[in-house]
Structure 1
Amino acid sequence: MRIFLAGATGVVGRYLAPALIERGHEVVGTTRSSAKVESLRASGVEPVVVDGLDADGVLRAVSKSKPDVVVHQLTGLGTGADFKHFDRSFAETNKLRTRGTDNLLAAARASGAGRFVAQSFTSWPFPRTGGPAKTEADPLDPSPIAASRESYAAIVHVEEVVAGASDLAGVALRYGGFYGPGTSLGRDGEITEMVRSRKLPLVGSGEGVWSFIHIADVASATVCAIEGSATGIFHIVDDEPAPVRVWLPYLASALGAKPPLKVPAFVAKLLIGEMGVAMMTQIRGASNAKAKRELGWQLTYPSWREGFRTGL
């Protein structure tokens, strides 16, 4: 198949493009930087320089490519998430999830593409109540934390217009927290360095449940979504949702670092805000049963336990 990959030089795109090429697909990949054109070409990707927020430019690029599938992996998070000012740190990504998604969908329809696969996110958009692992059938939070409302609305927009599309096969992939080479939780990533220097403490009860996914498994799941026929929303996470009080000390041990410090929630709130405290003490994880069943997906790292030890 011929695949238009928007965001070919991003965290996911750098793994996804070679995985698609290895399986015999032709990949047209976008970048906003002309400096990255040659590296894309050298990897076997047909490069296109375009800004996802430029509707006319996106329309021209997709129409010229004549793809079978359009894949949306555009994000704009440059320096990591600021939990206290959550929406501010995700402002560019939110534009790409709203205007950018609309631009790519319009171009996909105009070019005759039959399938559209988009990146979404799981865990924190769920209600902070109930069991540790939510399914795709569970509703999202009707009352998101104030600092995250714009980011929440952007995620809802992606899922409504993509998974709800009636004129093409739409798939929204709710990724869990990335780890592995090239991510913020890689060998030399931002989060990893915070754990090594004991700057990522255990907040309050540490009962917030996180769902992780190795970046290689992100790519393999996305390939399954591109090549398959299933539509709708899928959780792309590993088999073991885990509370912070379990995974954070384990990660520190895997890195050979000292155990994390402990900070009361009321103190942490001054530094990381209500959203940050919720991430550490209240959020829920996700189940991957539907993705494994309907996409035929198999994980290389079924648990973050193995992944933290060997896959960073």
Structure 2
Amino acid sequence: MRVFVAGATGAVGRPLIRMLVDEGHDVVGTTGTPANVDAVTDLGATAVVMDGLDPESVRRAVVESRPDVVIHQLTALKAITGNMRKFDADFAVTNRLRAETTDSLLAAARESGVKRFIAQSFTGWTNPKDRTGLATEDEPLDPHPTKHSRNTLAGIAHLEKVVPAEPGMTGIVLRYGFLYGPGTGLNRGGDMSELIREGKFPIVGGGGGVWPMVHVEDAALAAARAVEHGDAGLYNVVDDDPALVRDWLPALAAELGAKPPMRLPRWLGRVVAGEHAVSLMTSMRGSSNAKAKRELGWELKYPSWREGFKHGIG
């Protein structure tokens, strides 16, 4: 099929295009700057320069490409500073990409007769905290987000509402967990890894927050599988091993050659980093991947972050 990938040069976009090309699809990949055109064509795709926040640019790119499938992988995660008190500010552009750009891509896909639309979302701190166990796709998003994450949750909620509901189109939302590996913040040169090396990523409270992890290659593979598998709806794309902060953070620090992370009591974590950081460290629930494995035919290269940290961190 002819597959249009918005966000071809991102952490997920690059391995995704490679997989789609290897599977025989005709791939069009977008980049926001002409300087990255060669990076897209080197992957075997046709490159298109597109401004994701300009509806006419989006329309022109999609309509002229005449795709069968549209995959929305656009984010602006490189803008993240790590300041949890500025969480919504860090995600401001990504929130627009999840709302405005999703609407623009859907409108262009509708005009072009696209029958399958796949979009990237997130699972983790978005899960409701008043329940136990792993969150499934049947649960609502957290009705009580921290004050610094409300706008970001609203962007996610918009995307997750409009994509599966698009008439005449199979709309699939892939809820990625915390990405790690090449091109992400959790690789050997990533921003989060540098904070861990510098001792600036402490364990707060008992470190009982559960982080759903997924290697970037496995995230890309889920999107590749969704091109031909799965009904409209939401899919948690996470590994098989829900990761307690008190387990994964020291393990990654050791893998990076860093000292064990400091430990802070909750009250001090709230003073130093704010409410959202404390929630991530102590209250977050993991997510079940059963639906994605069952309905997308998705098999993970790294079923556990434990193996992934050792052999796939990048």
Separation in 2 of the partners of 1:22 and 1:97? 28
Find the counterpart in structure 2 of residue 138 from structure 1: 139
Separation in 2 of the partners of 1:28 and 1:217? 21
SS of residue matched to 1:283: coil
Separation in 1 of the partners of 2:39 and 2:260? 40
State, as a whole percentage, how many aligned pairs show the same letter: 52
Find the counterpart in structure 2 of residue 63 from structure 1: 63
Question: What amino acid sits opposite 2:73 in the alignment?
Answer: Q
Find the counterpart in structure 1 of residue 103 from structure 2: 102
CA drift at 1:250? 1.7
Question: What amino acid sits opposite 1:84 in the alignment?
Answer: R
CA drift at 1:148? 0.7
CA drift at 1:195? 1.7
Separation in 2 of the partners of 1:308 and 1:15? 18
Find the counterpart in structure 2 of residue 203 from structure 1: 204
**Conserved 8 A contact 1:132-1:241:** no
Residues 79 and 52 (structure 1 numbering): CA distance in 2 closer, same or farther, change over 3 Å? Answer: closer
Find the counterpart in structure 1 of residue 5 from structure 2: 5
Separation in 2 of the partners of 1:91 and 1:114? 30
Deviations 1:87-133 (A, max 9, x none): 10000000000000000000000001110000000011111232241
Q: How many residues align?
A: 312
Separation in 1 of the partners of 2:223 and 2:131? 29
1:237-276 equivalences under 5 Å are 237-276=238-277
- Bigger CA drift: 99-108 or 244-253? 244-253
SS of residue matched to 1:301: coil
Unaligned runs of 5+ in 1: none
Unaligned runs of 5+ in 2: none
Separation in 2 of the partners of 1:6 and 1:153? 21
Residues 311 and 141 (structure 1 numbering): CA distance in 2 closer, same or farther, change over 3 Å? Answer: same
Question: What amino acid sits opposite 1:72 in the alignment?
Answer: H
Question: What amino acid sits opposite 1:44 in the alignment?
Answer: G
Deviations 1:18-75 (A, max 9, x none): 1101111111111111101122122211111111111111111111111000010011
Find the counterpart in structure 2 of residue 111 from structure 1: 112
1:1-312 equivalences under 5 Å are 1-80=1-80, 81-312=82-313
Separation in 1 of the partners of 2:145 and 2:249? 25
Separation in 1 of the partners of 2:133 and 2:303? 17
Separation in 1 of the partners of 2:241 and 2:166? 31
Separation in 1 of the partners of 2:116 and 2:296? 15
Question: What amino acid sits opposite 2:218 in the alignment?
Answer: D
Return the TM-score normalized by structure 2: 0.96
Q: CA RMSD in A?
A: 1.2
Question: What amino acid sits opposite 2:234 in the alignment?
Answer: I
**Conserved 8 A contact 1:6-1:31:** yes
Return the TM-score normalized by structure 1: 0.97
Give runs of ≥4 in structure 1 deviating > 4 Å: none
Question: What amino acid sits opposite 2:8 in the alignment?
Answer: A
